[in-house]
Amino acid sequence: MIKSEWKYIFTDKKMLISIVAVLFIPVLYAAVYLWAFWDPYANLSNLPVAIVNSDEGVDFEGEELILGDELVDKLKESDQFNFISVKKEDSEHGLLNRDYYLLIEIPENFSQHATTLLDEHPQKMVLSYKANQGNNFLSAQIGETAMERIRTEVNEEVTATYAEQLFDSVTKLGDGFAEASDGAGQLKDGATDLNNGASDLKGYLEQLISSTVELKDGTNTIASGIQTAADGSSQLNKGLATLSEGATQLTDGIDGAVTGVATLKSGIDEYTANVGKLNESYQLLSEKDKAFIDSFKQIENSTPSLNDSAKELSKGSYEVTSGIVALSEQISKISTGLPAEQATALIETMQQVQSGSSTITAGLTKLATGTDALSSGTTKAYDGAAQLSAAYAQVGQGIERLHESSAALVEGASNLANGTSTLATKMNEFNAGVQQVYQGSTNLVSGLTQLADGTSQLQHGTGTLAARSGELVDGSLKLVDGTKELIDGTDSLQTSLQEASDEAGEVNATDETYKMVASPVDVNVEEVNAVPNYGTGLTPYFLSLGLFVGALIISVVFPLVQPAIKPTSGTSWFASKALVLAVVGILQSLIVVSIVLFGLKLEVESVGMLILIAIITSFTYLAIVQLLVSMMDNPGRFIAILILILQLSTSAGTFPLELIPQPLQIFNKLLPMGYSIQSFRAAISTGDVGYFWYNNSVLIGFMVVCLALTFGYFLLLFKKRYSKQTAEA
């Protein structure tokens, strides 16, 4: 059956081509993928990265510092990326338009912040980094790593600049120490002079002690005399205060008298003038009174004839009224023969005439009565006027006498006014003098009081001076001792400053010194089982993946159950299929290993171990696929694909096992790819033979179990399909 299987393969060109194509499936998966990802970091210089340099520079220590330009030049020289200088307004559009994967922006204050180290609030130098992660996530991750390197380089550059300034300052500090040493020598000379002066001061203070005792006794005597004078001046001031108060009251009284006398004189003058006028008025009044009496006499003589005329007029008016009444009666009778309007008008007219006549008659009657009263009144008025005239004559005589005596009254008032005015003037002068004396006394009391207080303080001060002068002498002794110590200290200071100046002068910083300060630590990287590139690290993963896919594809082109001829036994049936798969496994393993060794120049610890693990891995995957497909056909292939998916995510071929979710980590121990990857790593990178055979033993275990189950399945299948036919034959 084995011969028949191979004959079937070689006679069926379609089958042969398919199997040959399957042999290169691992190469397509492993070698092509490895070729693509062999060393992607070697091509970073082709990755376009935009740089926006907005740094405006700054004047630092008299030199123009533009760190942004220096950084751009260094980045372009480094060839880390394909750095492209762009304008700020074009950068964002280019990043979003996928012209650049990364954008690095140097702000306008980049250099200015580098000079703020010694400021109260130093500012950090900030580089803005943007990555279009949606365009390519890994490029963003690579960019972050590159930015960290750039940040380190910028830190070293800035620190080197600071170090250069620091060592320059140290040199200047050495010069300052030298000058300070010279100053300390001068200070020592001054301390010596101070010590000599302190010794002289001690002698002067001893003389001061005896003088202060005498000064204290003298100030006690002065204080006692001044206190007595202060008490006497206080009593004098009290008496002068009383005198000043009385003089003020007397002055106020005299001022009031002057005012009263002036008022009295003014009143007398006015009174005298009025008396003169009154006398003249009474003389004139006397003359007018006589004319007035004569007029009343004429009125009295005329009133009787006036009264008679009024009575006759009243009588005539009465008669006229009676005639009008009679005429009215006649007209009333006559009006009956006249027209109505004329009769009415005539009657109304007569009524008005009658009414007016009655009014006149009544008025004339009252006039007659008034004339009687007037006649009687004029008689009485004449008698009164005669009496008034006699009284006026007596008053006129009195006023004339009063007018004659007013001249003497005016003269006396003038004399009184002049005297009181003179008295007031002199009293004001007296009061002013008293006030001046009182003010002087007050100042004397105040001065003596202050003097007493001052002498008291002087007395206390001299006492204190006498008491403290002894302490002052003690202090001068300490001062002498202290100046001696000062001399010793300045001597030590001068020596120390000279030593510091010498040591500072020995500092000779170079560019290597600045670099040492900027980057004092280097990392010594010691690699264990070094992996030269990205592709070498991924080779175990992609080889395992390619061999599993190759095993899965062979199940599609080669019938794993259908025999080329009728099987004679289950063993031969299984052997014919297993042998073909074994040859395919060996061939595809050798092909893919040859490609990675000679095509991709893979460096390995052991070529033999690599070939061996490739064959064992291929056999294991073929055994698993053969078992699943032989027993379940297409559902078996589906299960194989599920196994492949689980292995891709749990085999730790890319990220460490500990980084995947905990529930998935269990599949790493249950599926074969994790073991095949570890075996490949041992053969390629570590050379750990023990670990290599441990993982191989697990793979061989998977392979043996699957082959045994497949062999048992073929025995059962042969018994089920062909055992009866073989017995009958």
Residues 601 and 551: their CA atoms lie apart, in Å, by: 25
Is the pLDDT at 729 greater than 50, yes or no?
Answer: no
What tens digit of pLDDT does each residue of 673-718 get? 999 999 999 999 888 999 999 999 999 999 999 999 999 999 998 8
Taking alpha carbons only, the member of 112, 106, 141 closest to residue 127 is 106
Which structure tokens are listed for 312?
């006759």
Is the pLDDT at 618 greater than 80, yes or no?
Answer: yes
- What are the φ/ψ torsions at residue 132 (nearest 5 degrees)? -85, 80
What tens digit of pLDDT does each residue of 288-342 get? 667 666 766 776 676 677 667 767 776 776 776 777 777 777 777 776 766 777 7
What tens digit of pLDDT does each residue of 398-452 get? 666 766 666 666 776 677 677 667 767 776 776 777 677 677 767 766 776 776 6
Query: Cβ of 675: how many Cβ atoms within 10 Å?
Result: 26
**Which among 176-180, 425-429, 496-500, 573-577 has the top mean pLDDT?**
573-577
Is the pLDDT at 19 greater than 60, yes or no?
Answer: yes
Say if residues 304 and 389 touch (Cβ distance below 8 Å): no
**Which among 32-46, 68-82, 148-162, 597-611 has the top mean pLDDT?**
597-611
Residue whose token pair is 């100042």: 443
Per-residue pLDDT band for 72 (boundaries 50, 70, 90) equals confident
User: What DSSP element (H or E) covers 102?
Assistant: strand 102-106
Is the pLDDT at 525 greater than 60, yes or no?
Answer: no
Label the pairing between strands 82-85 and 48-53: parallel
Query: Residue 510 in 3-state DSSP?
Result: coil
Residue whose token pair is 């599609």: 556
Query: Residue 434 in 3-state DSSP?
Result: helix
Res 75: pLDDT: 79
| Integer Rg of the chain from CA | 75
3-state secondary structure 183-197: HHHHHHHHHHHHHHH
Res 709: pLDDT: 96
Is the pLDDT at 607 greater than 70, yes or no?
Answer: yes
Pick the range with the lowest mean pLDDT from 281-290, 549-558, 616-625: 281-290
Into which CATH architecture does domain 46-174 fall?
Answer: 3-Layer(aba) Sandwich (3.40)
- Residues contacting 475, CB < 8 A, separation 6+: none
Res 478: pLDDT: 75
**Which among 254-258, 275-279, 563-567 has the top mean pLDDT?**
563-567
Which 8-state DSSP code applies to residue 82? E
**Which among 28-32, 419-423, 649-653 has the top mean pLDDT?**
649-653
Res 689: pLDDT: 93
Is the pLDDT at 99 greater than 50, yes or no?
Answer: yes
Per-residue pLDDT band for 720 (boundaries 50, 70, 90) equals confident
- What are the φ/ψ torsions at residue 116 (nearest 5 degrees)? -100, 20
DSSP lists the bridge partners of residue 58 as 65
Res 146: pLDDT: 65
Say if residues 597 and 607 touch (Cβ distance below 8 Å): yes
Query: Residue 2 in 3-state DSSP?
Result: helix
- Residues contacting 79, CB < 8 A, separation 6+: 45
What tens digit of pLDDT does each residue of 155-181 get? 666 666 666 665 665 666 666 666 766
Percent of the chain scoring above 90 in pLDDT: 12
Residues 590 and 611: their CA atoms lie apart, in Å, by: 7
Res 341: pLDDT: 76
Res 495: pLDDT: 78
Domain ranges in the chain are 2-39+533-728, 46-174, 185-472+479-491
Whole-Å CA distances, 205 to 208, 459, 473, 681: 5, 20, 6, 98
What tens digit of pLDDT does each residue of 542-566 get? 889 889 988 888 888 888 888 878 8
Taking alpha carbons only, the member of 4, 10, 444, 540 closest to residue 233 is 444
